[in-house]
Amino acid sequence: MTQSPTPEMITRSRSDGEILLSCRNVTKEFSVAGSTVVAVDDVSLDFPEASVLAVVGESGSGKSTLARMLLRLMPVTSGTITFRGQDVTSLSGKGLREYWSEVQAVFQDPFASFNQFFTVGSLLRRSLALAQVPKDEADSLIETCLGYVNMKPKDTLGKFPHQLSGGQRQRVMVARALMMKPKVLLADEATSMLDATLRVNVLNVLDDLRADLGLTVLFITHDIGQACYLADRVAVMERGKVVERGTTEEVIFSPQAEYTQRLLADVPDLRGSLKR
């Protein structure tokens, strides 16, 4: 079970910074066997600078579809996505590549994200080469970004992915994303395949990055306990709609939606460990 948040975690200072990324009235429809399925239904969210917003929902709630639209890996059916006030909904070519350098992602399965025939060092250097980072800067950047996720280059770069633990592979994925110097990191079920101890380690790394680098984190998860451990604000999705949103404290102590109440009931010690 995910470690319950402490009062200090829940009441930590929240960012009122610039809105870096936002979506307005975003909808995604799919045609399935002649019928229309609405996967994301009229969702509007803001992602302030140096904050963590968690989007919580069970499988099929639309949270990962929303994530893919925010990453511009999937077109919207309607609505707009803006980054720093610029509409990026229809970006292509160079503009889209620039957007991807600013908005990076870490996905669920770190093992599937690596070519198993290359060492970690080769994989990271290849990523930088594709991004046209000069070779004389690459090693320094790799060392710095591994340091951000508490990994030592000498213990990491010469290993193959299968020689790392799941938590280590996920932290390498975070480091690889950081090498692009993004402003936003989207983590889609990034801890769901890890055991409890490794899960908390990765959550702590994400929180440190927000605090130390001013990174904006969008954390997609089915686990409301993890969301409350990490996030400043929480949005709860059910059947494609956002049915609840608020600060972490508001969602824990004053949930309005029946669905949110059911999710909280599955983590019985979450409220009991906290005081208003």
Provide the pLDDT for residue 130.
85
- The CATH class that applies to domain 19-112+182-272 reads alpha beta
User: What does pTM read for this prediction?
Assistant: 0.84
Provide the pLDDT for residue 110.
62
What is the rounded CA–CA span in Å between residue 99 and residue 91?
Answer: 8
CB 233 within 8 Å of CB 227: no
Provide the pLDDT for residue 111.
62
What is the rounded CA–CA span in Å between residue 12 and residue 14?
Answer: 6
What is the rounded CA–CA span in Å between residue 222 and residue 58?
Answer: 5
Provide the pLDDT for residue 272.
53
CB 167 within 8 Å of CB 194: yes
pLDDT along the chain (276 residues), means of 10: 42 63 97 93 95 94 96 96 95 92 84 80 91 88 91 93 88 90 91 78 87 92 91 96 95 93 83 50
DSSP-assigned letters across all residues of 115-149: -TTS-HHHHHHHHHHHTT--HHHHHHHHHHHHHHT
Closest CA to 230 of 63, 107, 52: 52
Where in the chain are the domains? Answer: 19-112+182-272
